[in-house]
Structures are given as structure tokens and as C-alpha cells.
Structure 1
Amino acid sequence: MNRLGGVGLAALERHRESERSFATLSDTISRSQVDNLRSQLTQFRSALLHFASTHRDKIRRDPAFRHAFNQMCANIGVDPLTDGGSGSRRSGGGGWWSEILGLSDWNLELGVQIVDICVSTRDRNGGLIEMSEILRLLGKLRGTAKITEEDVTRSIRTLKPLGAGYEVIDIGGRKMVRSVTKELDADQGVVLSVARGTGGRITQRILADKTGWTLDRARAALDNMLIRDGLCWLDEQDEQSGCAYWIVSVMQWDE
């Protein structure tokens, strides 16, 4: 019995020694893998930095090339507007990539122009403007420098720290820019979708027919947009119905 017991203890000790050896080997392999990964990331970062520096002007000037570069960065988890990188210097206009690409000043300029457009049109649209209108007005301000929806969306994202409510939202499959902190309720979203199909003009009857709402619900939704939110105008001399609402955020302007 003693002999058998000795064999059992020896086998147990050999098993424990094997486990310790495997643990040591695992730690060694893990450290080696981590070191190898760090080396690869350093090389990759250097290559990406070289590419960004070489094509800096084209990234800023060509929207298609800028989109392709942003997509490449997104696929590898890098944000050229906000990522700071290890040991990088941060600035108020963006992160390390933003500084390398010169996008800090470029994005700041675009953000200022977006804010200017939103503020200057707020009295007539209540702080809700279509993305297409933003792009049209930016085109007039910037001349031949083409700006895309993606540029506007990314720039607005950097404005969030201002706390002014700037946000890109989707209503009825179309993008709009909101520049006020108030949220749209479900009925307002429906009204905007219906008004877009009528060129901005809408009546209680049109809204009720398009949505299946009662006239009371249609009236309440439109009055809330008029009185509470300032998102529409009331025409009490409408030639067709005598009274119509104009949803200014979906109307087209010729300025």
C-alpha cells in the first residue's frame, strides 16, 4: 500500500510540474505575441502616417479620396478626426490624426460655417434644416470646394461638446440637421415626412387623409409645431383651403 501510495504521489507531482511548465510556456508565448503585435502596429502606424502625409492635400481637396481614406481608417478602427494615438499631442480642434492631416483647421472652418448657416436660418425653420439645404448653402460659401454629407456629419459630431444640440437625424429616410436641444416627437416626424411630399404646404385634412389620423389629432400636431416649436408658418389666406400650414424646414429657398 505504501509503495502504491508513493507512486500516486509521484504521479501527482509530475502532473503539477507539467501544469507549471505549460503555464510558463503560455506566458512566454503570450508575451511574444504581444511584443510582435506592438511591433506590427508601430510599423503599420508609420506606413499610414506616410500615406496620410503624402496625400494630405488630396485628402482635403478631393471628397471621393477623403471618403475612401475615412473608410480605410474606419475599417481598422482609426478616426482621423479624434484619435490621438499613443503619446500624441492633443489640441482643441481634433486629435493626432487631425493635426497630421491638417484637418483640424479645415474641420473647424467647416464647423463654423455650418453653425453660421443653422443660426442664420433658425428663425424660419425652427432649428431643423435639410441636409441638402446645408450642402447647397455650404456650396455658395465655399465656391468650388465640394463638401459631402459625410463631411457635414463628421463635423457636426465634433460640435457636440458645445452642447447646443447639433445633430444629424433621419426623418422619413432623409437626413436633416437639428441645431436646437429639443427632441422631435413621433407626430412631428410624421408631419415632416408628409410635408416633404407636398413641397412644405400641408392642411389638417391633408395630414388626416395621409396618415389616417382624426382631424383633432392632425390639428393638435400642427398647432404644436406652430405655437410650441416654431417649425411652421400659418397661412390664413390660403387660396385652396382658407388655412394652411407651411413646414419651413422642407421648403426650398432660392437665396
Structure 2
Amino acid sequence: MHRRGVGAGAIARKKLTEAKYKERGTVLAEDQLAQMSKQLETFRTHLQAFASKHKQEIRRSPEFRLQFQHMCAAIGVDPLASGKGFWAEVLGVGDFYYELGVQIIEVCLALRHRNGGLITLEELQAQVLKGRGKFAQDVSADDLLRAIRKLKVLGSGFGIIPVGGTVLVQSVPAELSMDHTVVLQLAEKKGFVTVSEIRDSLKWETERAKQVLDHLLKEGMAWLDAQAPAEPQFWLPALFSELHGQEGT
């Protein structure tokens, strides 16, 4: 016995029902989107009022500034995205990070002959604060990272390299691969590394270790101590603690 096919009327009713559900779903989605947009606009208005009321604290306190940045990020507002408009006029945050970016560049250029374009975030912060003077606004590590990210967008060679418990700031457009980062991490505690240490710790072939170290030497990011006992040592001045205490320009 053959099953009867579904009638044209039933198919039409099914399509009509599906169309109504789809239309209803679209209306609900549009309503939700409109409500969310309205809520976000309300949040932005309150955020602007908060910023106007607390602008001195935002300018003066790195901790307060960080909390404010988190509040902005939560609703998709970037006070640093433009040098014009409300945020720049009321808070001056655009000018603050622009000036900080210039100071970061000045410090990195002054020390590049010594560290090859790699400097710890801690050392960079100390040098920037020293250059700003004791009466200037305080600058936190978060402020530096935000300014560096803005410099990175400009294609100026700046970048941030996490190395174990240390953060390195790169200020030259040298290409550093994951291999280079791993070797920097290996050298973090002592400030130097050897071919045999790389070979034993990372289970690399000798040639691979030499290629990485030769690249760091070529870029000026490493120094070679050929007179070291046992075997040559490759020093990373950015990680060399004795250099951190020196003044330099």
C-alpha cells in the first residue's frame, strides 16, 4: 500500500508558519538589538559624566586610570582611539599617551646602542619616570603597555615580548621568531646562555641553536663573551641585571 504524498495545501501552510516564526524572530532580534544599543548609549553617557567628575583622579592616579580603562573596555569605548572629541578634550588622555609614546621612543633610542633594541618593561618604566621628573604625572606599567601598543600600530618596530616572568619591549623592526623568544626565556635568570644549555634544555640540534644566537648577535641584542670558561657565553644586555642599575644615554 502506497503512502499518500503530502498535499500542496499542507506544504503551503508549513511554509507560511515557518515564515511567521522567522518574521517574529527577526522582530524580537531587532527589539533586543535596539534595547542593547539604548543601554550602551546610557552607559556611555554615565561614563562621560563619571569621567568629567573624576578627570583629575584619572589624570593623576595610574590605578584610577587603569580602572577607568577597564570600564571603557567593558562597553567598547577606546579613549585613545582618537585625538579629538570628548575624551581628548575632557581628560587629555590622548595627549598623555602621545607624550608618553614620545618619551618611550626617546629612552629606547638613547639605550639602543647598549641593549640592541630590547629593554625590560621595568627598566623602561624607571628611565621614563626619571626623565619626567618628580613633579610629573606618575606612570604605571599598564600606561607604558598601552602607549607601546599605539606605537606598534604605527609600524614603528615596537613590540611586547613576554619572557617568563619578565616583559621585554622591542624597539627595532627585527624579526623575532618563537625560537628567539624561547632562548630569551632561557637566558632570563642569568642574563646569558650558551649553545650547550640551549641544546640540553630545549633538545635542539647545535645548528639550530647557533642560528638563533647568530641572529641575536647580528641585531645587536646579544653580546658574545668568547673568553668565558668552558664555552662562549651569549649575554642579553636587556636581561643583564648589572646593566639595569647603570644610568645611560
State the shift of 1:133 in Å.
1.4
Q: Structure 2 counterpart of 1:245, which letter?
A: F
Query: Which residue does 1:194 correspond to in 2?
Result: 186
Q: Residue 129 in 1 paired to residue 128 in 2?
A: no
Tell me if 1:146 matches 2:138.
Answer: yes
Describe how 1:72-221 pairs up with structure 2 within 5 A.
72-82=71-81, 93=83, 96-144=86-134, 145-198=137-190, 200-221=191-212
Contact 1:80 1:95 in 2 (8 A): no
DSSP-derived class of the 1:117 partner? helix
The CA deviation at 1:217 is: 3.4
Mind listing any 5+ residue stretches in structure 1 that lack a counterpart? 1-14, 83-91
Aligned partners of 1:29 and 1:236: how far apart in 2? 72
Residue 74 of structure 1 and its aligned partner are, at CA, apart by 1.4
Work out whether residues 81 and 94 of structure 1, in 8 Å CA contact, stay in contact via their aligned partners in 2. no
Identity %: 39
- Residue identity matched to 1:180: V
Q: Write the distance in 1 (CA, Å) between the matches of 2:36 and 2:30.
A: 10
In structure 2, the partner of 1:237 is 227
Alignment-mate amino acid for residue 81 of structure 1: L
> In 2, are the aligned partners of 1:172 and 1:189 still within 8 Å (CA)?
no
Q: Secondary structure at the match of 2:167?
A: strand
1:246 corresponds in structure 2 to 235
- 1:54 aligns with 53
TM-score (norm 2): 0.77
Q: Provide the aligned length of Structure 1 versus Structure 2.
A: 236
Structure 2 distance, partners of 1:245, 1:23, is 66
Query: CA contact under 8 A between 1:166 and 1:177: conserved in structure 2?
Result: yes
CA contact (8 A) 1:114 1:134 kept: yes
After superposition, the C-alpha distances for 1:163-222 in whole angstroms (9 at most, x for unaligned) are: 212122223353211122222123211221111121x23332333333333444333332
Tell me the CA shift for residue 224 of structure 1.
2.4
2:213 equivalent to 1:222: yes
Q: CA offset at residue 106 of structure 1?
A: 0.9
**Whole-Å separation in 2 of the counterparts to 1:53 and 1:171:** 39
Q: Report what 1:64 is aligned to.
A: 63
TM-score normalised by the chain length of structure 1: 0.75
Is the 2:163–2:188 contact (alpha carbons within 8 Å) kept by the matching residues of 1?
no
Out of 228-237 and 56-65, give the one that drifted further. 228-237
Describe the shift of the 1:19–1:60 C-alpha distance in structure 2 as closer, same or farther (beyond 3 A). Answer: same
Separation in 1, partners of 2:35, 2:236? 59
Q: 1:29 to 1:219 in 2, by over 3 A?
A: closer
Letter matched to residue 194 of structure 1: L
Alignment-derived partner of residue 6 in structure 2: none
Gap change, CA 1:191 and 1:29, over 3 Å in 2 = closer
1:204 and 1:17 mapped to 2: Cα distance? 73
Q: Structure 1's 216 and 40: CA in aligned 2 closer, same or farther, altered over 3 A? A: closer
Higher relative contact order (CA 8 A, sep 6+): 2
**Residues 86-145 of structure 1: per-residue CA shift (max 9 Å, x gap):** xxxxxx636642333111211111110111111112222222221111112122123444
* Larger radius of gyration between Structure 1 and Structure 2: 1
- C-alpha separation between the residues in 1 aligned to 2:71 and 2:32? 25
Q: Describe the superposition over 1:17-69 as per-residue Cα deviations: whole angstroms up to 9, x where unpaired.
A: 99999999888877776665555444433221111011111011111111111
Contact 2:62 2:139 (8 Å CA) reproduced? yes
